[in-house]
Amino acid sequence: MISFYKYIRKYLMKSISPKILGDGLKSCNEIGKSLVKKKGVDCFLDVGAGEGQLTLEFAETIKTKHIYGIDFVDSNIILLKEKSINAVKVDLNGHFPFDDSSFDIILSSQNIEHICNVRSYLGECYRCLKKGGQFIVLTENLAAWDNIFSLILGWQPFSTTPIDGWNVGNPLTWHLDEEKTLLKSDNIETYKNTGVVGVAGHVRVPTISSLKELLQKTGFIDIEIYTKGYFPFWGTLSEWLCSIDKRHGHFLIASCFK
């Protein structure tokens, strides 16, 4: 049985899943950029900016004067600064080093699922946003069909298999044989003992309903949420299925305002 799962993972999941996820993530990012309401603004912040590529793409769409990015990984801070992004090392579970109402638009891309203190995280995004400012959230969806399928089989949902550099609980996860590489990565070896939860794993993965309620309870208004990436399809069929079934795409895209 184990060899069967390895075969499926190697020849099916590793060939198909990158197409599904890659296509879904691209659509996720594109719809996120299309939801930008204000352009030519003064300040834009990317929370958990990573290496900064998406930060620059959104900044180009927004036509902002000043680009800021915060992250906890030292190597990412270096890369952000190399891209001329105003970068600051921050534990995203805690206080953000900015004044109230500092930014016109704040982006949170593939980060909220890594956060332990979600209420603090969203509260800080709300505090740092100007009145009438826009908050855009891109994340994974616990209610995606691939995650539901895993739960039916008694396995860990795909979106929650990465835990501190290990990928556990699902014999079909396409990252299973990448554990040793991940354990040697900057994210793990440098940060696994810091107490900062989520740097190298997913802590909480929302659904549409939970993400909407979290944003509402934080104080955000005019909330819109979409999904992209419909397993096991990609391309036009995936887009069409997400348009008629808005709760089960792999990625969530939310837009809201202060």
Answer yes or no: is pLDDT of 194 > 80.
Answer: no
| Residue 232, pLDDT score | 87
Q: What is the pTM for the complete model shown? A: 0.89
Question: Per residue in 141-151, pLDDT tens?
Answer: 999 999 999 99
Of 26, 48, 251, 237, nearest to 146 (Cα)?
Answer: 251
Which structural domain, as residue segments, surrounds residue 195? 1-258
Question: Per residue in 202-253, pLDDT tens?
Answer: 889 999 999 999 999 999 999 999 999 998 898 999 999 999 999 999 999 9
How many CA atoms lie less than 13 Å away from 70 in the CB half-sphere?
21
Measured distance CA(98)–CA(126) in Å, rounded: 12
Phi, psi of 172 (to 5 degrees): -105, 0
Question: What CATH number is given to the structural domain containing 247?
Answer: 3.40.50.150
The pairing of strands 251-257 and 221-228 is antiparallel
Instruction: Check: CB of residue 227 under 8 Å from CB of residue 246.
Output: yes
Question: Per residue in 21-65, pLDDT tens?
Answer: 889 999 999 999 999 999 999 999 999 999 999 999 999 999 999
Number of domains making up the chain = 1
